[in-house]
Structure 1
Amino acid sequence: MKLSKQFVIYCTFILTLIFATVSCFENPSDPGNENGEDEFSHTRNPGISANAFLSDSDFTELVIEIDYMPNYPPNERALDSLQAFLEQRLNKTSVTILEPTEIPSGDQNAYTANQVRDLESQHRDQFSEGETLTAYMIILDGRYSQSNVLGIAYYNTSNAFFGVAYDDATSGFGAPSRYQVESTSFRHEFGHLFGLVNIDGSGTDMQTDHQDEENGHHCDNENCLMYYAMERSDLISQFFDESVAELDANCIADLQANGGK
Protein backbone atom coordinates (compact mmCIF):
# COMPACT_ATOMS: atom_id res chain seq x y z
CA MET A 1 0.00 0.00 0.00
CA LYS A 2 1.37 3.42 -0.95
CA LEU A 3 1.38 5.92 1.93
CA SER A 4 0.65 9.57 1.29
CA LYS A 5 3.40 12.12 1.84
CA GLN A 6 1.24 13.92 4.42
CA PHE A 7 0.76 10.73 6.44
CA VAL A 8 4.52 10.04 6.54
CA ILE A 9 5.22 13.59 7.69
CA TYR A 10 2.58 13.28 10.42
CA CYS A 11 4.06 9.99 11.72
CA THR A 12 7.55 11.49 11.74
CA PHE A 13 6.28 14.44 13.79
CA ILE A 14 4.64 12.18 16.36
CA LEU A 15 7.80 10.08 16.80
CA THR A 16 9.91 13.22 17.21
CA LEU A 17 7.52 14.51 19.86
CA ILE A 18 7.72 11.23 21.78
CA PHE A 19 11.52 11.24 21.87
CA ALA A 20 11.63 14.91 22.84
CA THR A 21 9.68 14.28 26.04
CA VAL A 22 11.85 11.50 27.46
CA SER A 23 12.15 11.76 31.26
CA CYS A 24 15.28 11.76 33.37
CA PHE A 25 13.68 8.85 35.22
CA GLU A 26 14.84 5.57 33.63
CA ASN A 27 13.37 2.21 34.68
CA PRO A 28 15.42 -0.93 34.25
CA SER A 29 13.66 -4.25 33.96
CA ASP A 30 13.15 -4.74 37.68
CA PRO A 31 14.33 -8.19 38.78
CA GLY A 32 13.42 -7.55 42.39
CA ASN A 33 15.73 -8.99 45.01
CA GLU A 34 17.37 -11.98 43.36
CA ASN A 35 19.75 -12.62 46.21
CA GLY A 36 17.24 -13.40 48.92
CA GLU A 37 14.93 -11.34 51.09
CA ASP A 38 17.63 -10.47 53.62
CA GLU A 39 19.94 -8.79 51.10
CA PHE A 40 19.47 -5.29 49.79
CA SER A 41 19.20 -5.10 46.00
CA HIS A 42 20.79 -2.12 44.22
CA THR A 43 19.32 -2.95 40.80
CA ARG A 44 15.67 -2.13 41.29
CA ASN A 45 13.58 0.72 39.90
CA PRO A 46 14.30 4.32 40.96
CA GLY A 47 12.08 5.28 43.89
CA ILE A 48 11.61 1.75 45.23
CA SER A 49 14.05 2.45 48.08
CA ALA A 50 12.65 5.88 48.95
CA ASN A 51 11.87 4.97 52.55
CA ALA A 52 15.34 3.46 53.01
CA PHE A 53 16.76 6.88 52.12
CA LEU A 54 14.26 9.04 53.95
CA SER A 55 13.74 7.23 57.26
CA ASP A 56 16.02 5.66 59.85
CA SER A 57 13.98 2.46 60.22
CA ASP A 58 16.39 0.31 58.15
CA PHE A 59 19.50 2.47 57.69
CA THR A 60 20.90 5.17 59.97
CA GLU A 61 23.85 6.20 57.79
CA LEU A 62 24.23 7.13 54.11
CA VAL A 63 27.46 6.82 52.12
CA ILE A 64 27.73 8.11 48.54
CA GLU A 65 30.31 6.81 46.08
CA ILE A 66 31.19 8.99 43.06
CA ASP A 67 33.03 7.99 39.88
CA TYR A 68 33.79 10.46 37.10
CA MET A 69 35.37 10.32 33.66
CA PRO A 70 38.40 12.50 32.70
CA ASN A 71 37.80 16.26 32.61
CA TYR A 72 34.51 16.00 34.49
CA PRO A 73 35.18 15.89 38.24
CA PRO A 74 32.20 17.09 40.30
CA ASN A 75 32.20 20.69 41.46
CA GLU A 76 33.26 20.72 45.13
CA ARG A 77 30.75 23.38 46.13
CA ALA A 78 28.02 21.38 44.40
CA LEU A 79 28.92 18.34 46.51
CA ASP A 80 28.76 20.48 49.66
CA SER A 81 25.33 21.67 48.52
CA LEU A 82 24.20 18.09 47.93
CA GLN A 83 25.36 17.02 51.38
CA ALA A 84 23.51 19.93 53.00
CA PHE A 85 20.37 19.00 51.07
CA LEU A 86 20.57 15.36 52.15
CA GLU A 87 21.19 16.24 55.79
CA GLN A 88 18.23 18.60 55.68
CA ARG A 89 15.75 16.07 54.24
CA LEU A 90 16.89 12.59 55.40
CA ASN A 91 16.56 11.05 58.85
CA LYS A 92 20.17 9.85 59.03
CA THR A 93 22.73 10.22 61.79
CA SER A 94 25.42 10.82 59.16
CA VAL A 95 25.77 11.51 55.42
CA THR A 96 29.21 10.86 53.96
CA ILE A 97 30.26 11.71 50.40
CA LEU A 98 33.41 9.76 49.58
CA GLU A 99 36.32 11.30 47.67
CA PRO A 100 35.39 11.13 43.96
CA THR A 101 37.38 8.63 41.87
CA GLU A 102 38.44 9.12 38.25
CA ILE A 103 37.63 6.20 35.95
CA PRO A 104 38.62 5.67 32.30
CA SER A 105 36.71 7.42 29.55
CA GLY A 106 34.00 5.45 27.84
CA ASP A 107 35.17 6.99 24.54
CA GLN A 108 31.61 7.70 23.45
CA ASN A 109 29.75 10.83 22.41
CA ALA A 110 26.56 9.54 24.02
CA TYR A 111 25.55 6.86 26.52
CA THR A 112 22.36 4.83 26.89
CA ALA A 113 20.89 3.93 30.27
CA ASN A 114 21.91 0.30 29.77
CA GLN A 115 25.50 1.35 29.03
CA VAL A 116 25.49 3.38 32.24
CA ARG A 117 24.31 0.32 34.15
CA ASP A 118 27.15 -1.71 32.65
CA LEU A 119 29.65 0.94 33.76
CA GLU A 120 28.29 0.80 37.29
CA SER A 121 28.75 -2.97 37.36
CA GLN A 122 32.41 -2.44 36.40
CA HIS A 123 33.26 0.38 38.78
CA ARG A 124 30.94 0.48 41.80
CA ASP A 125 32.67 -0.60 45.01
CA GLN A 126 30.33 0.39 47.85
CA PHE A 127 27.17 -1.57 48.70
CA SER A 128 24.66 -1.33 51.54
CA GLU A 129 25.41 -3.36 54.64
CA GLY A 130 24.28 -3.31 58.24
CA GLU A 131 22.92 0.14 59.09
CA THR A 132 24.70 1.83 56.17
CA LEU A 133 22.85 2.60 52.94
CA THR A 134 25.05 3.38 49.93
CA ALA A 135 24.27 5.39 46.81
CA TYR A 136 26.22 5.69 43.56
CA MET A 137 26.84 8.62 41.23
CA ILE A 138 28.68 8.49 37.91
CA ILE A 139 29.60 11.50 35.74
CA LEU A 140 30.20 10.67 32.09
CA ASP A 141 32.17 12.46 29.39
CA GLY A 142 29.33 12.53 26.86
CA ARG A 143 25.65 13.23 26.48
CA TYR A 144 22.62 11.09 27.22
CA SER A 145 21.53 9.19 24.13
CA GLN A 146 17.83 10.01 24.08
CA SER A 147 17.48 13.66 25.09
CA ASN A 148 19.38 16.69 26.37
CA VAL A 149 18.95 15.90 30.06
CA LEU A 150 21.61 16.69 32.65
CA GLY A 151 21.14 13.47 34.61
CA ILE A 152 19.06 10.33 35.07
CA ALA A 153 17.99 8.14 37.97
CA TYR A 154 18.43 4.62 36.63
CA TYR A 155 18.48 2.29 39.66
CA ASN A 156 17.04 2.57 43.16
CA THR A 157 20.34 3.94 44.57
CA SER A 158 22.03 5.19 41.39
CA ASN A 159 22.20 8.41 39.38
CA ALA A 160 24.18 9.32 36.26
CA PHE A 161 25.16 12.79 35.05
CA PHE A 162 26.37 13.95 31.65
CA GLY A 163 29.36 16.27 31.54
CA VAL A 164 28.82 17.58 28.03
CA ALA A 165 25.26 18.59 28.98
CA TYR A 166 26.77 20.56 31.86
CA ASP A 167 29.05 22.28 29.34
CA ASP A 168 25.99 23.22 27.28
CA ALA A 169 24.03 24.56 30.26
CA THR A 170 26.88 26.73 31.57
CA SER A 171 28.11 28.23 28.29
CA GLY A 172 27.15 31.57 26.81
CA PHE A 173 26.50 35.04 28.16
CA GLY A 174 24.45 35.09 31.36
CA ALA A 175 24.56 31.32 31.82
CA PRO A 176 24.39 29.90 35.36
CA SER A 177 27.58 28.75 37.05
CA ARG A 178 28.82 25.19 37.12
CA TYR A 179 28.11 25.14 40.84
CA GLN A 180 24.47 26.14 40.33
CA VAL A 181 23.79 23.67 37.53
CA GLU A 182 25.51 20.70 39.17
CA SER A 183 23.93 21.43 42.56
CA THR A 184 20.47 21.54 41.04
CA SER A 185 21.08 18.45 38.89
CA PHE A 186 22.47 16.38 41.77
CA ARG A 187 19.57 17.32 44.06
CA HIS A 188 16.95 16.78 41.36
CA GLU A 189 18.03 13.20 40.59
CA PHE A 190 18.21 12.28 44.27
CA GLY A 191 14.66 13.64 44.49
CA HIS A 192 13.63 10.89 42.09
CA LEU A 193 15.37 8.29 44.25
CA PHE A 194 13.26 9.65 47.12
CA GLY A 195 10.09 8.87 45.15
CA LEU A 196 9.36 12.36 43.81
CA VAL A 197 7.04 12.98 42.12
CA ASN A 198 4.36 10.28 42.51
CA ILE A 199 6.52 7.29 41.56
CA ASP A 200 4.60 4.01 41.75
CA GLY A 201 5.73 1.73 44.56
CA SER A 202 7.94 4.33 46.24
CA GLY A 203 5.64 5.05 49.17
CA THR A 204 6.23 8.77 48.58
CA ASP A 205 2.62 9.52 47.77
CA MET A 206 1.38 12.99 46.91
CA GLN A 207 -0.28 14.63 49.90
CA THR A 208 -1.70 17.21 47.49
CA ASP A 209 -1.99 16.65 43.75
CA HIS A 210 0.99 18.45 42.18
CA GLN A 211 2.30 16.16 39.44
CA ASP A 212 3.03 17.62 36.00
CA GLU A 213 1.76 14.55 34.17
CA GLU A 214 2.80 15.86 30.76
CA ASN A 215 6.43 15.71 31.90
CA GLY A 216 6.53 12.48 33.85
CA HIS A 217 7.45 12.33 37.54
CA HIS A 218 7.85 16.07 38.00
CA CYS A 219 6.29 18.86 40.04
CA ASP A 220 3.92 21.35 38.42
CA ASN A 221 5.51 24.29 40.26
CA GLU A 222 8.10 25.95 37.99
CA ASN A 223 9.96 27.26 41.05
CA CYS A 224 10.41 23.79 42.55
CA LEU A 225 13.57 21.70 42.34
CA MET A 226 11.49 18.88 40.84
CA TYR A 227 10.11 20.94 37.94
CA TYR A 228 10.95 19.15 34.67
CA ALA A 229 13.06 21.99 33.23
CA MET A 230 15.57 21.60 36.09
CA GLU A 231 16.88 18.49 34.30
CA ARG A 232 17.14 20.07 30.82
CA SER A 233 20.38 21.63 29.62
CA ASP A 234 18.47 23.83 27.15
CA LEU A 235 15.94 25.17 29.67
CA ILE A 236 17.57 25.28 33.10
CA SER A 237 19.33 28.66 32.69
CA GLN A 238 16.06 30.64 32.76
CA PHE A 239 15.30 29.53 36.33
CA PHE A 240 18.38 30.88 38.10
CA ASP A 241 19.17 34.08 39.95
CA GLU A 242 21.93 33.68 42.53
CA SER A 243 20.52 30.63 44.29
CA VAL A 244 20.06 26.89 43.85
CA ALA A 245 16.54 25.51 43.36
CA GLU A 246 14.75 24.13 46.41
CA LEU A 247 11.85 21.73 46.96
CA ASP A 248 8.47 23.38 47.30
CA ALA A 249 6.05 22.78 50.16
CA ASN A 250 4.18 19.99 48.34
CA CYS A 251 7.33 17.96 47.64
CA ILE A 252 8.53 18.43 51.22
CA ALA A 253 5.17 17.22 52.54
CA ASP A 254 5.46 14.10 50.35
CA LEU A 255 8.91 13.30 51.75
CA GLN A 256 7.84 13.87 55.33
CA ALA A 257 4.90 11.49 54.88
CA ASN A 258 7.36 8.72 53.90
CA GLY A 259 9.83 9.17 56.77
CA GLY A 260 11.83 12.20 55.62
CA LYS A 261 12.25 15.65 57.16
Structure 2
Amino acid sequence: MQITKFLSILLFLSFIVVGCSDDDENTFVLNGETSNTQTLGTSANDLLSDTNFRGLTVEIISVEGFAPTTTAINTFRSFLEDRLHKPDGITINQRTVPSSGLAPFDINEIRQIETLERTVFNEGDEITVYIYFADGISEIDNDSKVILGSAYLNTSIVIYEKTLRELSRNPLSPLLSTIEAATLNHEFSHLLGLVNIGTPLQSPHEDSLSLGHCTSENCLMRAAVEFESGMMDLMGNGVPTLCPICRADLRANGGK
Protein backbone atom coordinates (compact mmCIF):
# COMPACT_ATOMS: atom_id res chain seq x y z
CA MET A 1 0.00 0.00 0.00
CA GLN A 2 1.40 3.44 -0.90
CA ILE A 3 2.35 5.62 2.07
CA THR A 4 -0.01 8.44 1.09
CA LYS A 5 -2.98 6.13 1.07
CA PHE A 6 -1.88 4.51 4.32
CA LEU A 7 -1.84 7.91 6.02
CA SER A 8 -5.13 8.97 4.51
CA ILE A 9 -7.06 6.00 5.82
CA LEU A 10 -5.91 6.76 9.36
CA LEU A 11 -7.83 10.03 9.36
CA PHE A 12 -10.92 9.19 11.37
CA LEU A 13 -13.24 11.65 9.71
CA SER A 14 -11.76 10.92 6.32
CA PHE A 15 -14.05 7.92 6.40
CA ILE A 16 -16.92 10.20 7.31
CA VAL A 17 -16.37 13.23 5.15
CA VAL A 18 -13.36 13.01 2.90
CA GLY A 19 -14.84 9.53 2.72
CA CYS A 20 -18.23 10.63 1.48
CA SER A 21 -19.42 11.82 -1.88
CA ASP A 22 -22.78 13.52 -2.15
CA ASP A 23 -24.36 13.39 -5.56
CA ASP A 24 -27.23 15.76 -6.26
CA GLU A 25 -27.35 15.44 -10.02
CA ASN A 26 -30.57 15.54 -11.98
CA THR A 27 -33.49 13.32 -11.04
CA PHE A 28 -33.81 9.95 -12.73
CA VAL A 29 -36.83 7.67 -12.81
CA LEU A 30 -36.69 4.46 -10.78
CA ASN A 31 -39.26 1.87 -11.83
CA GLY A 32 -41.70 4.68 -12.53
CA GLU A 33 -41.31 6.10 -9.00
CA THR A 34 -40.52 9.81 -8.80
CA SER A 35 -41.12 10.65 -5.13
CA ASN A 36 -37.97 8.72 -4.22
CA THR A 37 -35.84 9.99 -7.09
CA GLN A 38 -35.48 13.69 -6.36
CA THR A 39 -32.50 15.91 -5.68
CA LEU A 40 -30.52 15.31 -2.49
CA GLY A 41 -32.09 17.19 0.42
CA THR A 42 -35.53 17.48 -1.15
CA SER A 43 -37.08 15.15 1.46
CA ALA A 44 -35.34 16.61 4.51
CA ASN A 45 -38.51 17.94 6.15
CA ASP A 46 -40.50 14.83 5.22
CA LEU A 47 -37.90 12.64 6.93
CA LEU A 48 -37.57 14.85 10.00
CA SER A 49 -41.20 15.71 10.72
CA ASP A 50 -44.52 13.87 10.88
CA THR A 51 -46.36 16.45 8.78
CA ASN A 52 -46.62 14.31 5.65
CA PHE A 53 -45.14 10.98 6.76
CA ARG A 54 -45.74 9.43 10.19
CA GLY A 55 -43.55 6.36 9.63
CA LEU A 56 -40.21 5.46 8.06
CA THR A 57 -39.10 2.23 6.40
CA VAL A 58 -35.40 1.78 5.66
CA GLU A 59 -34.60 -0.91 3.11
CA ILE A 60 -31.01 -2.11 3.58
CA ILE A 61 -29.77 -4.31 0.75
CA SER A 62 -26.33 -5.86 1.11
CA VAL A 63 -24.28 -7.91 -1.28
CA GLU A 64 -23.82 -11.42 0.09
CA GLY A 65 -20.93 -11.42 2.56
CA PHE A 66 -20.97 -7.63 2.97
CA ALA A 67 -23.83 -7.02 5.39
CA PRO A 68 -23.26 -4.43 8.13
CA THR A 69 -22.73 -5.48 11.73
CA THR A 70 -25.69 -5.73 14.08
CA THR A 71 -24.03 -3.21 16.39
CA ALA A 72 -23.85 -0.64 13.59
CA ILE A 73 -27.51 -1.11 12.69
CA ASN A 74 -28.58 -0.73 16.32
CA THR A 75 -26.53 2.46 16.63
CA PHE A 76 -28.04 3.75 13.39
CA ARG A 77 -31.58 3.01 14.62
CA SER A 78 -30.93 4.95 17.82
CA PHE A 79 -29.63 7.87 15.77
CA LEU A 80 -32.85 7.93 13.72
CA GLU A 81 -35.08 7.66 16.78
CA ASP A 82 -33.24 10.56 18.41
CA ARG A 83 -33.66 12.90 15.43
CA LEU A 84 -36.90 12.02 13.60
CA HIS A 85 -40.56 12.55 14.48
CA LYS A 86 -42.09 9.27 13.33
CA PRO A 87 -44.94 8.33 15.73
CA ASP A 88 -45.83 5.24 13.66
CA GLY A 89 -42.32 3.93 14.12
CA ILE A 90 -39.13 3.21 12.21
CA THR A 91 -38.76 -0.11 10.42
CA ILE A 92 -35.42 -1.42 9.14
CA ASN A 93 -35.67 -4.30 6.67
CA GLN A 94 -32.51 -6.16 5.63
CA ARG A 95 -31.81 -8.66 2.89
CA THR A 96 -28.87 -9.81 0.79
CA VAL A 97 -28.44 -10.04 -2.97
CA PRO A 98 -25.80 -11.51 -5.30
CA SER A 99 -22.93 -9.35 -6.47
CA SER A 100 -23.58 -7.12 -9.46
CA GLY A 101 -20.05 -7.72 -10.71
CA LEU A 102 -19.75 -4.02 -11.59
CA ALA A 103 -17.11 -2.94 -9.06
CA PRO A 104 -15.38 -0.52 -8.93
CA PHE A 105 -18.52 1.60 -9.10
CA ASP A 106 -19.41 4.93 -10.60
CA ILE A 107 -22.56 6.57 -9.29
CA ASN A 108 -24.54 5.73 -12.43
CA GLU A 109 -23.87 2.03 -11.85
CA ILE A 110 -25.04 2.41 -8.26
CA ARG A 111 -28.24 3.98 -9.57
CA GLN A 112 -28.70 1.11 -12.03
CA ILE A 113 -28.42 -1.39 -9.18
CA GLU A 114 -31.10 0.54 -7.31
CA THR A 115 -33.49 0.24 -10.25
CA LEU A 116 -33.08 -3.54 -10.05
CA GLU A 117 -33.02 -4.07 -6.29
CA ARG A 118 -35.15 -1.42 -4.59
CA THR A 119 -38.60 -2.73 -3.70
CA VAL A 120 -40.00 -0.18 -1.23
CA PHE A 121 -41.20 3.30 -2.16
CA ASN A 122 -43.13 6.08 -0.45
CA GLU A 123 -46.75 5.12 0.05
CA GLY A 124 -49.47 6.81 2.06
CA ASP A 125 -47.94 8.27 5.21
CA GLU A 126 -44.86 6.00 5.08
CA ILE A 127 -41.61 7.43 3.70
CA THR A 128 -38.85 5.05 2.61
CA VAL A 129 -35.06 5.14 2.32
CA TYR A 130 -32.88 2.74 0.32
CA ILE A 131 -29.34 1.88 1.48
CA TYR A 132 -27.04 -0.39 -0.56
CA PHE A 133 -23.96 -2.01 0.99
CA ALA A 134 -21.63 -2.60 -1.93
CA ASP A 135 -18.97 -5.27 -2.40
CA GLY A 136 -16.52 -2.92 -4.10
CA ILE A 137 -14.96 0.51 -3.99
CA SER A 138 -15.80 3.80 -5.66
CA GLU A 139 -14.02 4.26 -8.96
CA ILE A 140 -12.93 7.75 -7.88
CA ASP A 141 -10.82 6.46 -4.98
CA ASN A 142 -7.19 7.50 -5.25
CA ASP A 143 -3.98 7.59 -3.22
CA SER A 144 -5.05 10.67 -1.25
CA LYS A 145 -8.63 9.79 -0.34
CA VAL A 146 -11.17 6.99 -0.36
CA ILE A 147 -14.93 7.24 -0.56
CA LEU A 148 -16.87 5.39 2.13
CA GLY A 149 -20.39 6.35 1.17
CA SER A 150 -22.58 8.65 -0.85
CA ALA A 151 -26.03 10.12 -0.36
CA TYR A 152 -26.93 10.54 -4.01
CA LEU A 153 -30.70 11.15 -4.16
CA ASN A 154 -33.36 12.33 -1.72
CA THR A 155 -33.85 8.84 -0.24
CA SER A 156 -30.87 6.87 -1.56
CA ILE A 157 -27.48 6.00 -0.04
CA VAL A 158 -24.61 3.71 -1.00
CA ILE A 159 -22.08 2.44 1.52
CA TYR A 160 -18.84 1.02 0.13
CA GLU A 161 -18.61 -1.81 2.65
CA LYS A 162 -15.51 -3.32 1.07
CA THR A 163 -13.64 -0.07 1.75
CA LEU A 164 -14.92 0.09 5.33
CA ARG A 165 -13.64 -3.43 5.98
CA GLU A 166 -10.24 -2.62 4.53
CA LEU A 167 -10.00 0.39 6.84
CA SER A 168 -10.96 -1.64 9.89
CA ARG A 169 -8.10 -4.09 9.33
CA ASN A 170 -5.54 -1.47 10.30
CA PRO A 171 -4.64 -1.92 13.99
CA LEU A 172 -4.94 1.85 14.58
CA SER A 173 -8.45 2.08 13.13
CA PRO A 174 -11.74 1.96 15.07
CA LEU A 175 -13.88 -1.15 15.12
CA LEU A 176 -15.72 -1.98 11.91
CA SER A 177 -19.05 -1.35 13.66
CA THR A 178 -17.90 2.16 14.60
CA ILE A 179 -16.84 2.96 11.04
CA GLU A 180 -20.13 1.58 9.67
CA ALA A 181 -22.30 3.49 12.13
CA ALA A 182 -20.39 6.74 11.60
CA THR A 183 -20.73 6.43 7.83
CA LEU A 184 -24.43 5.54 8.02
CA ASN A 185 -25.22 8.43 10.38
CA HIS A 186 -23.20 10.88 8.31
CA GLU A 187 -24.77 9.95 4.99
CA PHE A 188 -28.29 9.86 6.42
CA SER A 189 -27.67 13.33 7.83
CA HIS A 190 -27.15 14.50 4.26
CA LEU A 191 -30.63 13.12 3.45
CA LEU A 192 -31.82 15.23 6.40
CA GLY A 193 -30.44 18.29 4.65
CA LEU A 194 -27.14 18.81 6.47
CA VAL A 195 -25.26 20.98 6.02
CA ASN A 196 -27.32 23.58 4.12
CA ILE A 197 -28.57 20.90 1.70
CA GLY A 198 -32.34 21.28 2.07
CA THR A 199 -32.29 22.18 5.76
CA PRO A 200 -31.67 25.93 6.18
CA LEU A 201 -28.83 27.12 8.37
CA GLN A 202 -29.89 28.69 11.68
CA SER A 203 -26.39 30.14 12.03
CA PRO A 204 -23.30 30.19 9.79
CA HIS A 205 -21.44 26.88 10.05
CA GLU A 206 -21.10 25.46 6.55
CA ASP A 207 -17.53 24.70 5.55
CA SER A 208 -16.70 26.96 2.61
CA LEU A 209 -13.96 24.56 1.51
CA SER A 210 -16.22 21.50 1.62
CA LEU A 211 -19.81 22.51 1.00
CA GLY A 212 -22.42 20.38 2.76
CA HIS A 213 -20.22 19.93 5.83
CA CYS A 214 -19.84 21.58 9.22
CA THR A 215 -17.10 23.76 10.65
CA SER A 216 -17.75 22.70 14.27
CA GLU A 217 -14.90 20.77 15.82
CA ASN A 218 -15.52 17.01 16.20
CA CYS A 219 -19.02 17.19 14.66
CA LEU A 220 -20.31 14.16 12.79
CA MET A 221 -20.66 16.43 9.75
CA ARG A 222 -17.09 17.75 9.88
CA ALA A 223 -15.29 17.56 6.52
CA ALA A 224 -11.82 16.73 7.76
CA VAL A 225 -9.83 16.48 10.99
CA GLU A 226 -6.04 16.53 11.26
CA PHE A 227 -4.35 13.33 12.35
CA GLU A 228 -3.08 14.05 15.88
CA SER A 229 -3.36 12.76 19.45
CA GLY A 230 -6.72 14.47 19.91
CA MET A 231 -7.99 12.46 16.95
CA MET A 232 -7.10 9.26 18.76
CA ASP A 233 -9.09 10.42 21.77
CA LEU A 234 -12.11 11.00 19.55
CA MET A 235 -11.83 7.52 18.05
CA GLY A 236 -11.76 6.13 21.55
CA ASN A 237 -15.06 7.85 22.27
CA GLY A 238 -16.86 5.88 19.56
CA VAL A 239 -19.19 7.25 16.87
CA PRO A 240 -19.11 11.07 16.59
CA THR A 241 -22.36 12.95 17.24
CA LEU A 242 -23.98 15.95 15.62
CA CYS A 243 -22.89 19.24 17.14
CA PRO A 244 -25.50 21.51 18.80
CA ILE A 245 -25.53 23.81 15.76
CA CYS A 246 -26.39 20.98 13.36
CA ARG A 247 -29.06 19.71 15.77
CA ALA A 248 -30.55 23.21 15.88
CA ASP A 249 -30.83 23.19 12.09
CA LEU A 250 -32.68 19.86 12.18
CA ARG A 251 -35.09 20.99 14.91
CA ALA A 252 -35.94 24.13 12.94
CA ASN A 253 -36.81 21.94 9.94
CA GLY A 254 -39.16 19.64 11.87
CA GLY A 255 -36.80 17.25 13.67
CA LYS A 256 -36.24 16.52 17.33
TM-score bracket, normalised by the shorter chain, equals: 0.7 to 0.9
TM-score, normalising length: structure 2: 0.83
Distance 2:99 2:233 in 1: 31
Name which of 129, 133, 137 aligns with 1:143: 137
Higher CA-based Rg: 1
Name which of 56, 61, 70 aligns with 1:76: 70
Alpha-carbon contact 1:211-1:218 (below 8 Å) kept: yes
User: 1:222 deviation in Å?
Assistant: 3.4
| Worse-superposed segment, 61-70 or 105-114 | 105-114
Q: Secondary structure at the match of 1:188?
A: helix
Which residue of the partner structure matches residue 191 of structure 1?
A: 189
Distance 2:219 2:164 in 1: 20
User: 1:61 deviation in Å?
Assistant: 0.3
Which residue of the partner structure matches residue 107 of structure 1?
A: 101
Name which of 116, 119, 123 aligns with 1:125: 119
Distance 1:107 1:149 in 2: 19
Would the alpha carbon gap of residues 32 and 237 (structure 1) be closer, same or farther in structure 2, given more than 3 Å must change? farther
Question: Residue type matched to 1:205 in 2?
Answer: P
Distance 2:245 2:210 in 1: 17
Name which of 214, 220, 237 aligns with 2:215: 220
Distance 2:252 2:239 in 1: 24
Question: Residue type matched to 1:24 in 2?
Answer: S
User: 1:107 deviation in Å?
Assistant: 1.9
| Worse-superposed segment, 183-192 or 139-148 | 139-148
Q: Secondary structure at the match of 1:213?
A: coil
Which residue of the partner structure matches residue 42 of structure 2?
A: 48
Count how many residue pairs are aligned between Structure 1 and Structure 2.
229
Alpha-carbon contact 1:60-1:132 (below 8 Å) kept: yes
Alpha-carbon contact 1:22-1:146 (below 8 Å) kept: no
Name which of 245, 249, 257 aligns with 2:244: 249
Question: Residue type matched to 1:155 in 2?
Answer: L
- CA distances 1:154-195 after superposition (whole Å, capped 9, x unpaired): 110010000221023212222100110000000000000000
Distance 1:27 1:47 in 2: 8
Alpha-carbon contact 1:28-1:44 (below 8 Å) kept: no
Distance 1:221 1:109 in 2: 35
User: 1:23 deviation in Å?
Assistant: 5.5
User: 1:228 deviation in Å?
Assistant: 1.9
Alpha-carbon contact 2:57-2:91 (below 8 Å) kept: yes
Question: Residue type matched to 1:156 in 2?
Answer: N
Identical amino acids, percent of aligned pairs:
35
Distance 1:182 1:22 in 2: 12
Question: Residue type matched to 2:201 in 1?
Answer: M
Q: Secondary structure at the match of 2:171?
A: coil
| Match status 1:95 vs 2:90 | yes
Which residue of the partner structure matches residue 29 of structure 1?
A: 26
Q: Secondary structure at the match of 1:29?
A: coil
Name which of 179, 203, 206 aligns with 1:208: 203
User: 1:250 deviation in Å?
Assistant: 0.6
Alpha-carbon contact 1:169-1:237 (below 8 Å) kept: no
TM-score, normalising length: structure 1: 0.82
Which residue of the partner structure matches residue 13 of structure 2?
A: none
Would the alpha carbon gap of residues 137 and 31 (structure 1) be closer, same or farther in structure 2, given more than 3 Å must change? closer
Question: Residue type matched to 1:104 in 2?
Answer: P
Distance 2:176 2:19 in 1: 24
Which residue of the partner structure matches residue 5 of structure 2?
A: none
Question: Residue type matched to 2:206 in 1?
Answer: Q
Would the alpha carbon gap of residues 61 and 197 (structure 1) be closer, same or farther in structure 2, given more than 3 Å must change? same
Distance 1:22 1:173 in 2: 19
User: 1:108 deviation in Å?
Assistant: 3.5
Structure 2: give runs of 5+ residues left out of the alignment: 1-17, 226-230
Would the alpha carbon gap of residues 119 and 40 (structure 1) be closer, same or farther in structure 2, given more than 3 Å must change? closer
